[in-house]
């Protein structure tokens, strides 16, 4: 319902304030840390890309953002009766609304801004040669977490008169999430993923991310 | 392998025709204009009806195995994180979103407005069409219009560049990248006009590409 209202707002506003509605695209390099089941701290290095659409007012913006992270590392995770330890590749997608405050601090054309917002994310772990400590984990199986958290970022963006000049931005971003649910999935058929088990109450799995992000305003 | 070799030989033999400059001063672009609210609703309506028509064709297997009115009722209003593989979330959905974006661009909407219209169209699809088989997905709601618009912007830029090379090969690939440039709503490049001459009645079809 909120999404539909936001779309109607976008639709009504886009035609009267077109130049203040923006789409940005960026790339980032990140470190993700998972405090997992056995309280081992697992680091995942990687990177990815992100995008956001926003509505700009005089000194603030409201919008929706997405952050995609691809990385690798070692971890100990489980879902249901299955517990797995080993190196894995991770694919993480975080989506959420954000508020951006454009501060009066400037350095030349560059304006300092602060951005924050809640985040809902999904992390999917694909293990290679895992050590299965309980349950079964054949090839094609993956573990997915659904998490909830927030982020804060500090950055600078070029303050240009027109969007057509495609201003650039860079920022440092910190995010924190708590896993809500864990799923064991059979993804051996890439067109149709089957959920085998679901486990609620995974709040002991906490995810921290630190990213350096650089990007451009497309339109 | 043989069809590929044949294709290369054909392209090589026709290369002088494919790459020869054509004698035209026409410049392809995306003419932008304002739209009445009735036009906006008409476009959204057309896209919505097309999505109802195409969904059973494209996802016939899913509809057989997972689709039902019971599912439709249960999934209505639900929002989840889907566990689909990148084939869907990074492939099919952004590609669909790019087609939505390009449809609105060739109908005279600005880039921002095309993104907003694509957002509305894909949200309507997620919440009222796809729920026949699965609940609305957070990733799809965002990635279809937003990543789709980014892909659409790339296709738009490349398509315009190729179309404006004024070569046959450029025109062919430029239209393939954005098929909506072949339709009547793009800058009058295709026209269907009724003709009446006493006893004879008919339609005149004219296309320029």
Q: What is the ipTM of this complex?
A: 0.81
The strand pairing partners of A83, in sequence order, are A78, A134
Q: Which helix (H) or strand (E) holds B174?
A: helix B168-177
Mean pLDDT of A3-25: 53
**Can you give the pTM of this predicted structure?**
0.83
Contact at CB, A18 and B110, closer than 8 angstroms: yes
Could you tell me the pLDDT band of residue A84, with boundaries at 50, 70 and 90? Answer: confident
Measuring CA to CA, which residue among B93, B114, B136 is closest to residue A23?
B114
B89 DSSP 8-state letter:
I
Between A202 and A15, the higher pLDDT residue: A202
The tokens describing B87, both together, are: 């084939």
Tens digits of per-residue pLDDT, A120-153?
999 999 988 888 888 888 888 899 999 999 999 9
Say yes or no to pLDDT of A36 above 70.
no
Q: Which two tokens stand for residue B81?
A: 């994180």
Helix (H, G, I), strand (E, B) or coil at B17: helix
Q: Closest to A218 (Cβ–Cβ): which among B77, B88, B150?
A: B150
Q: What is the dihedral of CA A161, A162, A166, A167, to 10 degrees?
A: 20
Which of A154-163, B59-68, B186-195 is least confident? B186-195
Q: Which residues of A touch B42 (CB under 8 A)?
A: none
B-chain residue closest to A21, CA distance: B112
Helix (H, G, I), strand (E, B) or coil at B145: coil
Average pLDDT of the residues in B168-186:
86
């064709």: which residue's tokens?
B57
- Which of the residues B76, B78, B97, B112 would you substitute to probe the A interface, choosing the one with the greatest number of A C-beta atoms within 10 Å? B112
What is the pLDDT, as a whole number, of residue A201? 66
Q: Find out whether B138 and A67 touch, Cβ atoms under 8 Å.
A: no
**Phi and psi angles of residue B183, each rounded to the nearest 5 degrees, phi first:** -90, 165
Closest-CA residue to A111 (of A177, A46, A169, A184) = A169
A53–B111 C-beta distance less than 8 A: no
Least confident of A74-83, A206-215, B13-22, B181-190: B13-22
Q: Which residue of A has its CA nearest to B113?
A: A14
Average pLDDT over residues B36-48: 94
> Which of A16, A48, A53, A182 should one mutate to test binding to chain B, selecting the residue with the greatest count of B CBs within 10 A?
A53
If one counts every other C-beta atom within 10 angstroms of the C-beta of residue A41, the result is 11
**pLDDT computed for residue A12 by the predictor:** 39
- The per-residue pLDDT for A41 is 60
Q: Which of A42, A20, A21, A47 is nearest to A215 (CA)?
A: A47
Q: CB neighbours of A85 closer than 8 A, spacing ≥ 6? A: A74, A75, A76, A130, A131, A133
- On whether any CB of chain A is under 8 Å from the CB of B120, the answer is yes
Looking at the complex, does the CB of residue B166 fall below 8 Å from at least one CB of chain A? no
CA distance B35 to B107: 10
Provide the total of helices (H) and of strands (E) in chain B, helices listed first: 10, 4
Nearest to A10 among B34, B119, B143 (CB): B119
Instruction: Name the nearest CA neighbour of A126 among A174, A190, A175, A177.
Output: A190
Token pair of B84, please?
A: 């689909």
Write out pLDDT tens, residues B56-90: 888 888 888 888 888 899 989 989 888 787 888 88
Strand, helix or coil for residue B110: coil
């Amino acid at each position: 319902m909120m999404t539909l209202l936001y779309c109607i707002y976008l639709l009504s506003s886009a035609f009267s304030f077109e130049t203040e509605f923006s789409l940005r695209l960026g790339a980032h390099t990140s470190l993700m840390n998972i405090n997992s089941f056995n309280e081992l701290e697992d680091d995942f290095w990687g990177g990815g890309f992100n995008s956001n659409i926003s509505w700009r007012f005089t000194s603030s913006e409201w919008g929706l953002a997405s952050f995609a992270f691809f990385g690798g590392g070692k971890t100990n995770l489980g879902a249901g009766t299955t517990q797995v330890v080993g190196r894995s590749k991770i694919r993480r997608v975080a989506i959420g609304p954000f508020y951006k405050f454009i501060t009066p601090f400037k350095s030349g054309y560059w304006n300092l801004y602060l951005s924050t917002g809640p985040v809902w994310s999904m992390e999917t772990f694909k293990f290679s040669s895992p050590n299965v400590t309980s349950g079964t984990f054949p090839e094609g199986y993956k573990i997915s977490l659904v998490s909830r958290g927030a982020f804060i970022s500090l950055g600078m963006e070029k303050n240009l008169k027109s969007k057509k000049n495609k201003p650039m931005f860079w920022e440092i971003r910190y995010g924190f999430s708590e896993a809500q649910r864990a799923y064991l999935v059979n993804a051996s058929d890439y067109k149709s993923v089957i959920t085998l088990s679901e486990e609620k109450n995974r709040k002991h799995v906490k995810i921290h991310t630190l990213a350096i992000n650089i990007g451009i305003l497309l339109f | 392998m043989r069809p590929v070799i044949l294709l290369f030989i054909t392209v090589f033999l026709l290369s002088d025709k494919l790459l020869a400059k054509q004698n035209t001063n026409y410049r392809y672009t995306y003419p932008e204009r304002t739209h009445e609210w009735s036009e906006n609703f008409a476009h959204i309506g057309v896209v919505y009806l097309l999505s109802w028509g195409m969904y059973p064709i494209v996802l016939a297997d899913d509809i057989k195995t997972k689709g039902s009115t019971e599912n439709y009722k249960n999934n209505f209003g639900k929002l989840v994180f889907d566990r689909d593989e990148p084939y869907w979330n990074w492939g099919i959905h952004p590609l669909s979103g790019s087609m939505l974006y390009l449809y609105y661009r060739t109908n005279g909407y600005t880039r921002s407005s095309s993104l907003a219209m694509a957002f509305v169209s894909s949200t309507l699809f997620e919440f009222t069409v796809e729920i026949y088989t699965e609940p609305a997905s957070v990733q799809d709601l965002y990635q279809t219009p937003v990543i789709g618009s980014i892909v659409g912007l790339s296709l738009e830029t490349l398509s315009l560049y190729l179309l404006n090379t004024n070569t046959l090969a450029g025109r062919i690939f430029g239209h393939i990248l954005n098929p909506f440039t072949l339709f009547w709503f793009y800058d009058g490049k295709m026209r269907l006009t009724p003709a009446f001459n006493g006893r004879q009645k008919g339609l005149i079809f004219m296309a320029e590409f």
